[in-house]
Structure formats: structure tokens, C-alpha cells
């Protein structure tokens, strides 16, 4: 699902490629990829305090996406990017994967990588007009429901033999030293891999070489044969992990969108804390 900036640059004039900037409108107006349309990150999440990252109602979501040109057109390739570490763009990619859009990519390294490669940009004080007419909306129901794991299912399956939970928060959040919910810690059995470790230390937020990520996953007893469920605090960081695993060819990847903001605020879900450094 990650795509290199130079490959995107060769398709800037392709009418079937839709480039979507996910994030801040003022920054979008100052610097954006040529022809990009803008989508606020808030359109991709449904805050339900204290839970922060739930998926929106599909009917509302597909209408919002159709308004910027993302719809039920099998010929359209969506390319998402942001300037915030690729988490926001990855959230759009996961959303479209869940809804069943057949072709979606994330610019590897985001706007930083694009600028670093000295590729063309544009700016304007006005937001570009969305495609007219708006796209035919995607079906108002998830076409790949397996891409989303919800609380009720996870309660009964987090310790299944074929399931692997991957917690991509910081070490301090995972251990419980830092608690961003009513309780700290992690879901029992969850493996830990900070999302920053998925990124190339010399070219972040671009993806680390695939072989290195695969080695880290094997060290945690995670393989393509498992159902891998990624989570963080609000499915921002874990969206990046989802796209990374899909890029590596993992077919059975799912996201727990409620993440720790939901699990850690439930009074009847088990939580594990570990001494710092373990």
C-alpha cells in the first residue's frame, strides 16, 4: 500500500489518480502535491468520549468521501499523504480498505519525502474545487468487515491461538508507566512494537526496509499465517502499522479502532502492566 514519491510524480496528470491531502487546511493551502484535494482528518474518526478513534457511520463516511471524488469507481486510484508522520494518511488508507475500495496507496514518507525529492508542489489561498459531479458513493456498508475488530469480538478472542495482538504505542504506555485512559497497561498477550520502529531511522517517516520489519515481527512470533490485530491509543499510530503489514503482504490484518482509549476505559476488560524496561 505504500508507494514511492517518484512513482506518484509520474502519474500527476492521470485523471484516474486522485491525490488526497489528509490534515491541516492552512498547511494544505501553503504547500500541497499538484492537483491534490483536501480531507480533514476529523472526517475519518468518530469521537465518543472517552473513546477517541472509532470508525464513523459508513453512510456518513461514504458521502463525505464522495464529495471529494472518492467513490464507487473501480478505475480510480486514491493516493493519500500527510505531513504528520503518515498516520493520518494511513487512517484514510485503512478506512478505504475497510470500505472495500480496490486501489489505495500512501505516499511513503509523506510530504517530507516529497519535498526532500524536490518534486513539484503548488499553493493557493483557495481550496481546489472538488471533482464535479461528485463521485457515486461507495456502498454504505463495509465490504471488508474483517479489517475492523470491535470490542465485543475482542473480549472473547484476544487470547485465541491464531490471533496476534500488536500494540504499537510507546514502551511507557505499553508497560502502564504512562496511562492515557482510566487504566494503564496493555491487552493480555499483546506484543509490543513502537510504531516509530517501523520507520526508517535515517528517512522517517518513510518505511523501514521490509526485511528489517519482518525480522522484528518474527522475533515477536508474528507471521502472515496469524490474524494480526493492531492497536494504539486511538488507531492513529496503528493505522500506519496496518498499512505497513499490508505492504509486506500480510493478508489477515485487522485494526482495533477503539484501541486503548476504549479498552483501558472499560471496567471489565483485563489489563496487564509490566515494570518499566521489561
Residues designated as active site: 232
Contacts of 186 (CB under 8 A, 6+ apart): 167, 169, 173, 174, 175, 176, 192, 260, 271, 272, 273
CB of 104 within 8 A of CB of 96? yes
Cα–Cα dist 134/130, whole Å: 7
Give the Cα separation of 244 and 199 in Å (integer): 9
The answer to whether the CB of 33 falls within 8 A of the CB of 19 is yes
- Residue 268, number of CB atoms within 10 A of its CB: 5
- Label residue 13 exposed, middle or buried (CB < 10 Å: 0-12, 13-18, 19+): exposed
Distance CA 61, CA 57 (A): 6
Amino acid at each position: 500500500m505504500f508507494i514511492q514519491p517518484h512513482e506518484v510524480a509520474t502519474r500527476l496528470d492521470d485523471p484516474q489518480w486522485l491525490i488526497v491531502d489528509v490534515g491541516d487546511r492552512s498547511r494544505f493551502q501553503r504547500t500541497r502535491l499538484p492537483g491534490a484535494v483536501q480531507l480533514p482528518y476529523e472526517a475519518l474518526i468518530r469521537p465518543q468520549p472517552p473513546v477517541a478513534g472509532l470508525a464513523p457511520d459508513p453512510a456518513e463516511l461514504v458521502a463525505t468521501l464522495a464529495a471529494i471524488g472518492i467513490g464507487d469507481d473501480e478505475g480510480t486510484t486514491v493516493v493519500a499523504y500527510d505531513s504528520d508522520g503518515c498516520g493520518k494518511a494511513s487512517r484514510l488508507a485503512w478506512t478505504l480498505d475497510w470500505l472495500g475500495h480496490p486501489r489505495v496507496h500512501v505516499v511513503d514518507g509523506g510530504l517530507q519525502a516529497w519535498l526532500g525529492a524536490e518534486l513539484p508542489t503548488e499553493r493557493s489561498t483557495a481550496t481546489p474545487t472538488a471533482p464535479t459531479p461528485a463521485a457515486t458513493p461507495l456502498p454504505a456498508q463495509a465490504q471488508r468487515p474483517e479489517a475492523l475488530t470491535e470490542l465485543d469480538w475482542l473480549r472473547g478472542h484476544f487470547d485465541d491461538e491464531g490471533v496476534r495482538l500488536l500494540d504499537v504505542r510507546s514502551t511507557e504506555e505499553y508497560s502502564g508507566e504512562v496511562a492515557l485512559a482510566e487504566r494503564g497497561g496493555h491487552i493480555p498477550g499483546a506484543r509490543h512494537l513502537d510504531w516509530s520502529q517501523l520507520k526508517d531511522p535515517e528517512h522517517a517517516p518513510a518505511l523501514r526496509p521490509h526485511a528489517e520489519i519482518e525480522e522484528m515481527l518474527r522475533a515477536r512470533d508474528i507471521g502472515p499465517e496469524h490474524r494480526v490485530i493492531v492497536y494504539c491509543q486511538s488507531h492513529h499510530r496503528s493505522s500506519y502499522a496496518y498499512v505497513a503489514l499490508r505492504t509486506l503482504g500480510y493478508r489477515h490484518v485487522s485494526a482495533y479502532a477503539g484501541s486503548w482509549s476504549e479498552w483501558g476505559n472499560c471496567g471489565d476488560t483485563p489489563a496487564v502492566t509490566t515494570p518499566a524496561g521489561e
